[in-house]
Structure 1
Amino acid sequence: MDILGKIHSVETCGTLDGPGIRYVIFFQGCPLRCQYCHNPDTWKIEDGKNVSVRELMEDILKYKSFMEFSGGGITASGGEPLMQHRFLEELFKKCKEEGIHTALDNSGCIKLSTIKEVIEYTDLVLLDIKAFNKQRYKELTGASISPTLEFAKYLSDINKTVWIRYVLVPGLTDNLKEIEELAAFLASLQNIERIDILPFHKMGEYKWEGLGYEYKLKDTQPPDEDSIKIVKEIFKEYELNVG
């Protein structure tokens, strides 16, 4: 039986979510409530549209030549793709049968014991670490950081390639001491290929308003270039590759 999943949307020629030209699938559903989320319309899984693995693969294969030429592939993003781990596992399995590179953009918040099979078919993990301080993480996301750190350590143990994503939000995730603690933690792992510092933006603010949610960061401005440079230098001091 063809497994059904809940999808928000797709981007057929993405270039920001992994190497090369990528077919990006935005999964519906997320257990986190990040204050800076620019896709709050993906939070509720019931709001997604049903799609089968077969239907997705038929569309994905239309772009296979672009992926091969550019060294690209598909990226599962969201939302939180691992909320639908059975669907995602079947999709990634079919992609591997076609020789298509698979990337997983996620927050590491899903119980590890339920998702190990998905990771077997994943070539690259884009791991979003929202904050490193436990209290800060809880304030920012409404959840515990513990599953994310457990996931990061597991990926190191199995030597799965990881790109770290860190959103720099003035007044929220720009504490330099906490950033240095994160850098030290990442330097202790064996598999971190690069670090991407993503400047906070407010492009999703209109979605919050449209959905009737309170947007707490309406007065927060994007970080300036000097702040971004300082944060990048901290990671470089720990001999981490900053993209």
Structure 2
Amino acid sequence: MTVLLDQNLAPLGAATPAGAAMHRPIEGTVHSWDLSTGVDGPGSRFVVFLSGCPLTCLYCHNPDTWRMRNGKRTSADDVVEEAAKYTSFIAAARGGATVSGGEPLLQPVFAGELLHRFKHELGLHTALDTSGFLGVRATAALLRDVDLVLLDIKSWDRQTYEKVTGRPLQPTLDFARRLADLGKEVHVRFVLVPGLTDDPANIEGVAAFAGGLGNVSRVDVLPFHKLGEGKWQALGRNFTLHDTPSPTPGQVTLAKEIFEAHGLKAV
């Protein structure tokens, strides 16, 4: 499978070509933006969803974000201007701004610009929501402007991970260790799918790894759901988990207990 490439990969602060305008707005491809509470980082948050993702997760509830062509070319100025409308509300709700996707690190310059301006112009707490697969694209400058990383670790078993995502696990683990070395706060996200990721040994692997990093302050155990199935159908894609049930309360509790046994707060 060919990894989607974005053309805004030049570093921030690159020299302006002779004869070019003094200010050229940084642009990226945006799927949408929204306000959310409790699922995209702490408090109420302005969330911008960037288009494009190199993963093809079987349970993805936003498959319409996978391709760049399904987004709209948008300037960072426009996104920041929109976020600025809600800063008073966000501050009162102890929230912030989250750059999500898709996979935001597919557009690292644009994502970095948004994070920088959310943090330094609007004074907002910032979060990066990522699978970590493209973690090598996250520059030191980008990560300095991130207060929290929401990191999806979708499976510990390598074969299951590749079945779920179509990609190898190792880049995510490498990125997680890099974040730990930096002391960057991380919330791990783990989707519990009966018959796919719910094996206790699989959960134990993720829990032991996350618990050993030293920078994971929370684990979100996310029960599998089929709310995105209609989008798969609209895109003419086969939703292979159509007959998979949501996990029972007991299965969710067991998963949380495994994470908590490794000293992690699981919610």
Name the TM-score class by shorter chain: over 0.9
**Is residue 232–residue 242 contact of structure 1 (8 Å, CA) maintained in 2?**
yes
Residue 80 of structure 2 is aligned to residue 60 of structure 1: no
TM-score by structure 1 length?
0.97
Q: Which of residues 35, 38, 43 is equivalent to 2:61?
A: 38
Summarize the alignment of residues 157-176 of structure 1 with structure 2, pairs less than 5 Å apart: 157-176=181-200
- DSSP 3-state at the match of 1:30: coil
Q: Output the CA distance in 2 between the equivalents of 1:203 and 1:123.
A: 30
- Structure with max Cα Rg: 2
The gaps in structure 1 that reach 5 residues or longer are: none
For 1:172 and 1:49, the matched residues in 2 are separated by 34
The superposition leaves residues 114-159 of structure 1 with CA deviations (integer Å, 9 ceiling, x where unpaired) of 5433211101100011111111111110001011000000010000
CA drift of 1:86 comes to 0.1
Q: Give the corresponding residue for 2:133.
A: 109
Instruction: Tell whether the 8 Å contact from 1:75 to 1:105 is kept in structure 2 after alignment.
Output: yes
Alignment counterpart, residue 231 of structure 2, candidates 191, 204, 207:
207
The alignment's C-alpha RMSD in Å is: 1.1
- Taking a change above 3 Å as real, the CA distance of residues 15 and 114 of structure 1, as seen in their structure-2 partners, is closer
8 Å contact kept, 1:9–1:25? yes
Change beyond 3 A, Cα 1:242–1:57: same
Counterpart of 1:94 in 2: which secondary structure?
helix
Q: Secondary structure at the match of 2:29?
A: strand
Contact 2:58 2:239 in 1 (8 A): yes
Match among 132, 138, 150 for residue 162 of structure 2: 138
TM score, norm. by length of structure 2: 0.89
Q: 1:156, 1:15 → 2: CA distance?
A: 24
Q: Which amino acid aligns with 2:64?
A: D
Q: Distance in 2 between matches of 1:187 and 1:95?
A: 30
- Counterpart AA for 1:210: A
Specify which structure has the higher proportion of helix.
1
Deviation, structure 1 residue 12:
2.6
Unaligned runs of 5+ residues in structure 2 are 1-23
> How many residues get paired?
243
Pairing partner for 1:93 from 104, 112, 116? 116
* 1:51 pairs with 2:74: yes
User: What secondary structure does 1:138 align onto?
Assistant: helix
Cα pair 2:45 2:96 within 8 Å, conserved: yes
Identity of aligned residues (%): 47
Deviation of the 1:26 alpha carbon: 1.1
Structure 1 SS opposite 2:238: coil
